[in-house]
Amino acid sequence: QVQLVESGGGLVQPGGSLRLSCATSGFTVGDYIIGWFRQAPGKEREGVSCISSNDGSTYYADSVKGRFTISRDNAKNTVYLQMDSLKPEDTAVYYCATSFLLYIPSTMSPDEYDSWGQGTQVTVSS
């Protein structure tokens, strides 16, 4: 049974940092592209970042480029999203998901991901 469980969300002040974790089970995480999405109230789900299964290639949305870093530890079946210099507009529920793609795309679409975690809330506010 494929499972993804996000953790690490919380309340942080603008300019602060959080590290999200996506713990996986039921499959070999090293075989799949793993992505992070976020969804703010009243907005569509937005692709934030993804990482390839083999060569370490990554994608970042323009809105987070230079502030967020995605990484994976295949031995721990876990993917991380380090978020620095957080802004109020980063407030959202963050989800991790597995993709059936074989390559890092030029954009991220939720339609290309088929297994999802339950999400973790990130709130950036003073």
| Residue pLDDT, tens place only, 27-75 | 888 889 999 999 999 999 999 999 998 788 999 999 999 999 999 998 9
Backbone angles phi, psi at 88, to 5 degrees: -55, -35
* pLDDT tens for each residue of 21-37: 999 998 888 889 999 99
